[in-house]
Chains A and B, each alone.
Chain A
């Protein structure tokens, strides 16, 4: 049976081209996403500056979220990545050194510095490190001597021995003498500046990592075990092999989570769309071969044999399609990774990995897709009635069946359930997480009853279409009514494309808008001082700002992310709580929050302010926080405030929070003007004397935030774009296949006196009809997702975003339909009508 199937497959290549294309691109997309996923899971970063160390001891950046019931073995533990660098005590260097097999243990630290020229930071700025760590790269002294005393530094070329340089360290300028010039043995991404031990101990109290050089002949695995034993109970972890780069680039870990989520969502979406599209193209090819299948039944093929044949065909196509998809799959994966790295979603130092696993997953998902879709099509084929082989006309099948109605009802039930969940359970932007499944459920549900809906829509559109288009329209409507099922097959991909595009694009714009609104609302400052070098602001600067005339208040500002260790907290999960550090002295300037209990001015020492209702704690209670750098801290609640749903945060004293960030310093100072006072001039004057600090007004800040949102948005657009391109390919695919198939019909029509122009006009009207129905249904699909989401995020049922997006989606869908219908019609009517009419 399979041989007959394959033979028919070879003969009817055209009929399977659509399925082939859908599987080919679908598998490629899944492979690409698989590559991103693998890259994220591995997070391989080649070590650069610490490459010589065989083992690296560094702070463990992962955090196991506490369980609801610590004794419950069943409950899964969730792990999160800490937002700030987890540093180690210097004493651990000795602990490591004492472990047998360790030849050397060298502490490493990194701190941003800025070289000043004429009081201004310029060019690519080096990062400061202890001189001892130079041998881990290794760096060699090419001129001069290593730094030995405070105030001495070793730089890379083009600096020269003996130069006296002004350097901004921890926000404050220092005068240093260049004692030596170093050069790395291999290229390193960022220039380095090496400091003496005395300076390093002043600037970095703790170490970022400890590089281990093993004694010759030591078994590294065993050494690793011994180190693990020695470091038990400390926040240290041991990196080996390709993981070592993470000690230098811990931010790669956090970005990997984003990458994994993004790749999983898009990959999952691709599989769903592929299943949908392949089911519809296979269904179409079954419909086209219906007589042939009925003939096979008449001469003694059992339904089971037919089903096996159709399934076999689908599998054969998918094997070839997914096999060939490996090439574009790998290329696309690399391309997407480069785009994401370009957008800053992933640090460029992360190595892109697309091994055999994503390829196998891509092929496997392609085969699975073909199997599921093939099974649906095979069921239809198995139901072919033998007597239909003897009938001359193509017979219209029932346009709605109990199975379809039940299926549709299930999908709609799921869709409604998701909408209810979205509206009642979620708050703010995470409501978007139900959007993907919701769109698919509604789309599949509508697709199930598409023939019935199409019939209904045709009935509605019949009169206007006839009135406007005359005879061509009349014929098109008659065609459409006679062959609802065929029309419905063309309508479904358009519905899907319109639905997915509209829903996802407006989801993004609505979300960006809500985030921007929340930001603007919470920003009370009239001006903001920021560090331009990324090195943080020196202590004391805030006091100088407060002393300026016309300043009503000034607050230092820093942000981080943390977790609640006690009481049990299941509101934020692995994303953690956004933390903001503010000064109690200038609290009026910094925060627009509305206090409902306690006072923000009490934010001093180990204290916190919570959104009212969060954690069930009130003023005077104590909670335990796990801060971004891994520190666990008991803090007393001193105030409650009204939070923006979905954008909740905690407020902490800036001194407290800054100390637990990677930088260790506040990054901004928020300034509020006294009523009527103009601050710009005074602030500009102050900033002129402080290197590495810039002043910005409110609009600049909002714009900067919007830009940051745009980066996130463009990541989403990139990924949604991939899905949309794929869906568009499927639309064209299905339509071309459906149209080219009607060669004989066009031939007959022309033999009975239609001109070619009339046929083309008729098909144009049909295309408009198909596009209109698809767009209406697609809009319905997106509405079912967008309305609950908008209600949650912005409180109105109308999603936020420019109208032109919708118009562009509709226009593109319409244009695609038109071109994909009229062009094949034009091609198939090129031959003489008599020829076309006889060849079936």
Chain B
């Protein structure tokens, strides 16, 4: 299957080359169209950096990132921004809605930024899909956490992006609400062929994905297909121990 997002030997060093921290150490991976992938790893494994680089929020130190056939490396900030606006949807942990805008205004914001008039039918469809038809005119502060995250999903969906990146989308939600949000994401993958890449540390959330990719110490550390919460949890435990060991070895050497 064709890869919507492809990372090729991506390295990312924060600070200068000598004393800097190497957050990603040569990651090569692809995400096929219509797939739902979870990226997991212990704290400090480079999950966030991975997401930033894949989504064009940050520039890799070396290596290339291709999105929907478009090479990101070398794009200027403005071109990158426009690409993000049109081809990528974002869902964050802390909802990140603009408190001043209503539900509807938040959802249509990426379209307005692009100078496009929101298509009424599309808007209605998206709002119905996330089940907020009766909340259009509300402000984020008047919604529950789950509802706010659903607004964020609608905002990510509205531009029909090539890929949606989600950063701990259930991190701030209770189990029940988290399930609703994950179901919604899964549905957009199954019904509408959406591609989703989700960074999480919650095995329950990761179990919704078709595939789980593990990161440890800035490198890929295996993957699981059609995972369950249990197999993921087990792998994570090993991964933690493995990462600890590899770190100790490095210090010893």
Q: Answer whether residue B112 sits at the interface, using C-beta atoms and an 8 A cutoff.
A: yes
Q: Answer whether residue A390 sits at the interface, using C-beta atoms and an 8 A cutoff.
A: yes
Contacts of A68 in B (CB 8 A): none
Instruction: Looking at the assembled complex, report how far the CB atom of A298 sits from the nearest CB atom of chain B, in whole angstroms.
Output: 6
Instruction: Looking at the assembled complex, report how far the CB atom of B46 sits from the nearest CB atom of chain A, in whole angstroms.
Output: 14
Q: Answer whether residue A160 sits at the interface, using C-beta atoms and an 8 A cutoff.
A: no
Q: Answer whether residue B180 sits at the interface, using C-beta atoms and an 8 A cutoff.
A: no
With contacts A300-B81, A390-B167 taken as known, whether A8 is within 8 angstroms of B100 at the C-beta atoms is yes
User: In the bound complex, what is the Cα–Cα distance between A7 and B139 (angstroms)?
Assistant: 12
Using an 8 Å CB-CB cutoff, how does the interface string of B65-94 with A read, 1 for contact, 0 for none? 000000000000110011011101010111
User: In the bound complex, what is the Cα–Cα distance between A297 and B55 (angstroms)?
Assistant: 13
Instruction: Looking at the assembled complex, report how far the CB atom of A394 sits from the nearest CB atom of chain B, in whole angstroms.
Output: 13
Q: Answer whether residue B105 sits at the interface, using C-beta atoms and an 8 A cutoff.
A: yes
Q: Which of B108-135 contact A (CB under 8 A)?
A: 109-110, 112-114
User: In the bound complex, what is the Cα–Cα distance between A829 and B239 (angstroms)?
Assistant: 45
With contacts A292-B98, A299-B85 taken as known, whether A389 is within 8 angstroms of B78 at the C-beta atoms is no
Pick from A179-187, A301-309, A420-428 the stretch touching chain B. A301-309
Instruction: Select A11's contact among B51, B99, B110, beta carbons within 8 Å.
Output: B99
Q: Answer whether residue B221 sits at the interface, using C-beta atoms and an 8 A cutoff.
A: no
User: In the bound complex, what is the Cα–Cα distance between A295 and B167 (angstroms)?
Assistant: 13
Q: Are A300 and B84 in contact (CB under 8 A)?
A: yes
User: In the bound complex, what is the Cα–Cα distance between A289 and B19 (angstroms)?
Assistant: 32
Contacts of A4 in B (CB 8 A): 98, 101, 105, 109, 112
Q: Answer whether residue B61 sits at the interface, using C-beta atoms and an 8 A cutoff.
A: no
Q: For chain A, which range describes its interface: under 10, 10 to 19, 20 to 34, or 35 or more residues?
A: 20 to 34
Contacts of A7 in B (CB 8 A): 100-101, 105
Q: For chain B, which range describes its interface: under 10, 10 to 19, 20 to 34, or 35 or more residues?
A: 20 to 34
Using an 8 Å CB-CB cutoff, how does the interface string of B149-176 with A read, 1 for contact, 0 for none? 0000001000000000001000000000
Instruction: Looking at the assembled complex, report how far the CB atom of A588 sits from the nearest CB atom of chain B, in whole angstroms.
Output: 82
Q: Are A300 and B85 in contact (CB under 8 A)?
A: yes
5 pairs from A and B in contact (CB 8 Å cutoff)? A1-B113, A7-B105, A8-B98, A296-B98, A300-B88
Q: Are B84 and A299 in contact (CB under 8 A)?
A: yes
Contacts of A302 in B (CB 8 A): 77-78, 81-82, 113
A7 (CB) vs chain B CBs: closest residue = B100
Instruction: Identify whether the interface residues of A are mostly helix, strand, loop, or mixed.
Output: helix
Q: Are A299 and B110 in contact (CB under 8 A)?
A: yes
A392 (CB) vs chain B CBs: closest residue = B94
Contacts of A295 in B (CB 8 A): 92, 96, 98
Q: Are B78 and A300 in contact (CB under 8 A)?
A: no
User: In the bound complex, what is the Cα–Cα distance between A304 and B98 (angstroms)?
Assistant: 19
User: In the bound complex, what is the Cα–Cα distance between A300 and B98 (angstroms)?
Assistant: 14
Q: Answer whether residue A10 sits at the interface, using C-beta atoms and an 8 A cutoff.
A: yes
Contacts of A12 in B (CB 8 A): 100
Q: Are B90 and A299 in contact (CB under 8 A)?
A: yes
Q: Are B52 and A387 in contact (CB under 8 A)?
A: yes
Q: Are A301 and B105 in contact (CB under 8 A)?
A: no
Instruction: Looking at the assembled complex, report how far the CB atom of A10 sits from the nearest CB atom of chain B, in whole angstroms.
Output: 7
B152 (CB) vs chain A CBs: closest residue = A299
With contacts A7-B101, A292-B98 taken as known, whether A298 is within 8 angstroms of B78 at the C-beta atoms is no
Q: Answer whether residue B62 sits at the interface, using C-beta atoms and an 8 A cutoff.
A: no
Q: Answer whether residue A386 sits at the interface, using C-beta atoms and an 8 A cutoff.
A: yes
Instruction: Select B78's contact among A296, A304, A387, A390, beta carbons within 8 Å.
Output: A304
A305 (CB) vs chain B CBs: closest residue = B113
Contacts of B82 in A (CB 8 A): 300, 302
Instruction: Looking at the assembled complex, report how far the CB atom of A302 sits from the nearest CB atom of chain B, in whole angstroms.
Output: 5
Contacts of B113 in A (CB 8 A): 1, 296, 299-302, 305
